[in-house]
Amino acid sequence: MKFSHLIIALLTISAAPAYAASALNLGSYSVTGSYALDALNGSSGGISGLEASAVTYAQDRGSLFFVGDEGTGVIEISLTGQTLGYMNFDWSNTGSTKHDTEGLTYLGNGVLVVGEERLYDAYRFNYSAGGTASLANSTVSISNANVGNSGMEGISYDARNGGSFVAVKQESPEDILGGTLTFGANGSGVANMSQLFNPAMLGLATLSDVQTLSSVNSLYGTSGADNLLLLSLGSRMLVEVSRDGQLISSFDLSTVVPHNGIEGVTVDENGTIYLIAEQEQDGSVALEDARSRLIVLSSLNVPAVPEADSYAMLLAGLGLIGFVLRRRSAAK
């Protein structure tokens, strides 16, 4: 390669856009995958892959976790829905009788938080494939009240600034709370959560899940990192909103797995969105064939992060330029 060509190549690399996206822009997304999930023990007792109700992405594992609203345990799956492992839940001393797990979020290093809808409680545990999580060992009550079957439908972790959470309540009334959670044994944890905005202003029939966007690479350092994804089963909509309730973009889910109730949402660092849906319960398939589903939404407009290899090439090239210039100076 000629010296002048090398200069041009290095300038091209250095000029690669250090993007500053301000939103995901759901209008640019489309469905790029739909996968049936294993039923495992189904309704026969033990760990079940049916009634999928919440999902979360684990960046350090490159996988997803989901729970069903029967609260049997948590299941780890690949990004295309293959079962990788599972962990059972022990509900002793939690006060829960329905075990209605509707929220799930990943904190990192194998630590997850699962939410119970009716008690509006959250439980933190360390994932161990094949093991059992004793949920009462690390818990916090967000509402200190039994809110019944219209309670907490989602919870999401924001790792910035020491860590915080956003949680949503389904209806009657809808809530969207943000703040900190401190977990303790047997309900001794402390919640410091307050309403972010009045969710009624969005006009969604229900709130089914929430996902923070601070982990999306393209939003890093921008106001878009504060945005939230809100899922509404009642409206069959996914919306992106600011933390003061301004609608930014939306995605119509009315034709996406129309026989399955979509109840959970998560996102990876590249902005790829993963939805989880319970099995068909409308008679469209035979009962024994009904399966929960994983749906993948991708955008063609998500800007690419300059790879570490590109920066390495730039540094190596700059070093080579310096070497060549020194050789030329010495030859004169």
**Within this chain, do residues 200 and 287 fall inside the same structural domain, yes or no?**
yes
CATH of the domain at 275: 2.115.10
Q: Which range of residues forms the domain containing residue 326? A: 1-16+308-332
Instruction: Give the global pTM.
Output: 0.85
pLDDT in tens, 84-118: 999 999 999 999 999 999 999 999 999 999 999 99
Q: 128 and 212 share a domain? A: yes
Chain mean pLDDT for the chain? 88
Cis peptide before 173 (omega within 30 of 0): yes
Tokens of 292: 């929960």
| Number of domains observed in the structure of the chain | 2
Q: How far is CA 293 from CA 55, 257, 277, in A?
A: 11, 8, 5
Q: What is the mean pLDDT of residues 165-191?
A: 95
Residues 228 and 81 in one domain: yes
Largest CA distance in the chain: 86
DSSP string, 79-136: TT--EEEEEEEE-TTS--SS--EEEEEEEETTEEEEEETTTTEEEEEE--TT-EEEGG
Contacts of 82 (CB under 8 A, 6+ apart): none
What pLDDT, on the 0 to 100 scale, is given for residue 317?
A: 54
Are residue 297 and residue 312 in the same domain, yes or no? no
pLDDT average, residue stretch 113-127: 96
Task: Tell whether 317 and 254 lie within a shared domain.
Answer: no
CA-based nearest residue to 250, from 262, 241, 263 = 241
pLDDT exceeds 60 at position 230: yes
Query: Buried b vs exposed e over 241-256: b needs ≥16 C-beta within 10 Å?
Result: bbeebeebbbbebeeb
Statement to judge: residues 249 and 314 lie in one domain: no
Q: How far apart are CA 180 and CA 162, in angstroms?
A: 9
For residue 280, pLDDT over 70 is answered with yes
How much of the chain, in percent, has pLDDT values that exceed 70?
Answer: 84
Instruction: Identify the pLDDT of residue 18.
Output: 43
d(CA 320, CA 314): 10
Q: Can you state the percent helix, strand and coil of the chain, rounding each to 5?
A: 20, 40, 40
Q: Does one domain contain both 3 and 128?
A: no
Question: Do 56 and 166 fall within a single domain?
Answer: yes
Instruction: Give the whole-angstrom CA distance, residue 275 versus residue 231.
Output: 9
My answer on whether 312 and 214 are in the same domain is no
Specify whether 176 is located in the same domain as 260.
yes
| Cα 157 → chain centroid | 9
In this structure, the answer to whether residues 99 and 238 fall within a common structural domain is: yes
Residue 276 and residue 317 in one domain: no
Q: What is the pLDDT of residue 143?
A: 84
Tens-place pLDDT, residues 143-158: 876 787 788 999 999 9
Retrieve residue 324's tokens: 């060549």
Q: Between the CA of residue 212 and those of 22, 62, 223, what are the distances in Å? A: 14, 18, 12
Integer Cα distance of 74 and 95 in angstroms = 19
